[in-house]
Amino acid sequence: MSEDLTIREGKAGSMCYREFYRMGGNGDSEPDPNEEVVVLLHGLDSHSNTWLASKEGASHPGERELTKGAAPDLARQGYRVIIFDLPGHGKSDKLPDYEVETLGHELYKSLEELGLDKPEARVNLVSSCYGANVVLGYAKNYADHMRAAVLSDPVIGFRYIPKRRLVRLLMSMQRVLQHVPDSLNFIRLARGRQAKTEQKVGLDQQQADFTKNGHGYYLPNRDAFKMVRGLMNFEKRLKEGYLPEGVGQRMVIKYVTQRSYPMIPEKKLERAFPGMTAEFYPFECGHHVQMHPQWAEEMDNNLKKLGSGMEKYTNPEG
pLDDT level of residue 211 (50, 70, 90 thresholds): very low
Residue 212's pLDDT is: 46
CATH of the domain at 31: 3.40.50.1820
Residue 312's pLDDT is: 37
Does residue 155 or residue 111 have the better pLDDT? 111
Does residue 1 or residue 109 have the better pLDDT? 109
Residue 213's pLDDT is: 42
What number is the average pLDDT over the span 204-224?
59
Residue 161's pLDDT is: 58
CA distance 290 to 200: 19
Residue 33's pLDDT is: 74
What pTM, to 2 d.p., does this model score?
Answer: 0.85
Residue type, 144: D
- Alpha carbon separation from 8 to 16, 133, 168, 173, 288 (Å, rounded): 11, 26, 41, 42, 25
Asked whether residue 18 carries a pLDDT value surpassing 90, the answer given is yes
Residue 107's pLDDT is: 97
First vs last Cα of the chain: how many Å apart?
A: 44
Residue 1's pLDDT is: 47
What number is the average pLDDT over the span 33-52?
87
CA distance 101 to 134: 8
Domains of the chain: total: 1
Q: What count of other Cβ atoms lies within 10 Å of the Cβ of residue 140? A: 18
With b meaning 16 or more CB within 10 Å and e meaning fewer, what string describes 169-180? Answer: ebeeeeeebeee
pLDDT level of residue 310 (50, 70, 90 thresholds): very low
**Percentage with pLDDT > 70 across the chain:** 67
Residue 201's pLDDT is: 54
- Summarize pLDDT for 115-147 with one digit per residue, the tens: 998 777 879 999 988 999 999 999 999 988 888
CA distance 83 to 12: 12
With b meaning 16 or more CB within 10 Å and e meaning fewer, what string describes 17-41? Answer: bbbbbbbeeeeeeebeeebbbbbbb
pLDDT level of residue 282 (50, 70, 90 thresholds): confident
Is there a contact between 279 and 253 (Cβ–Cβ < 8 Å)?
yes
Residue of 88, 42, 61 lying closest to 288 (CA atoms)? 42
**Percentage with pLDDT > 90 across the chain:** 27
- Summarize pLDDT for 55-89 with one digit per residue, the tens: 777 676 667 888 999 999 999 988 999 999 999 88
CA distance 283 to 292: 7
CA distance 69 to 52: 4
pLDDT level of residue 311 (50, 70, 90 thresholds): very low
| Residue 45: domain span | 5-314
CA distance 318 to 313: 7
